[in-house]
Structure 1
């Protein structure tokens, strides 16, 4: 089974300077449950976009996911992000339009 950490490692490997520049935003992911964690994705920097832990500056968009397995399912495309949001499995704080760009981060 894929872990939360693996999802962020894959994100690191897929991000390109072009993609980072296109999104040009900062995210904070707070993933709950067993094997969850806190991750920062700062696409306003030149490199080293994905780091474990809380950001040093407030993120423009914070994503809360109650269960680690829901985050993994979202990343794998097995869960619809809109439905997950409507069902309360995901909460978004900050810039909602950045949350809508999340799929491009995961693919």
Structure 2
């Protein structure tokens, strides 16, 4: 899944690990995750140098993560820094706290964005991030 990796973005390594976890799901696990989440997250992440990259977590149709904008309409676009995404993935920062302090912005269904924490936690336990 090296096509997910983006030089200069620590988040891309985390997303590559999550993608491997998704790939490792059997059909039943994948269907359960899709049913539980039922939506698409588009992540617009900006690194310390000011460069931006976009990844999509599709838990509505395919149960995959890929680099680039959502192929079908995203439920929510989450705009955040590389460092903030790392903190969310590590469980050091709560998504709602990040939103309230301005470290994370959303476009679209803000309530759906709260499901990202659950996705990261569920995959983190399998991935050993």
TM range (shorter): 0.7 to 0.9
Q: Helix, strand or coil: the match of 2:35?
A: helix
* Bigger Cα displacement from structure 2, 82-91 vs 12-21: 12-21
CA distance in 1, matches of 2:62, 2:116: 19
Structure 2 gaps of 5+ residues are: 1-8, 23-28, 122-129
CA distance in 1, matches of 2:34, 2:19: 11
CA distance in 1, matches of 2:98, 2:57: 21
Cα pair 1:28 1:39 within 8 Å, conserved: yes
Which structure: greater helix fraction? 2
Question: What is the 5 A alignment of 1:18-97?
Answer: 18-34=32-48, 37-47=53-63, 49-65=64-80, 67-97=81-111
Structure 1 residue runs of 4 or more that deviate by more than 3 Å after TM superposition: 13-16
What is the TM-score normalised by the length of structure 2? Answer: 0.71
Q: Which has the larger radius of gyration?
A: 2
The residue aligned with 1:12 is: 19
Q: How many residues align?
A: 104
What is the TM-score normalised by the length of structure 1? Answer: 0.84
Structure 1 gaps of 5+ residues are: none
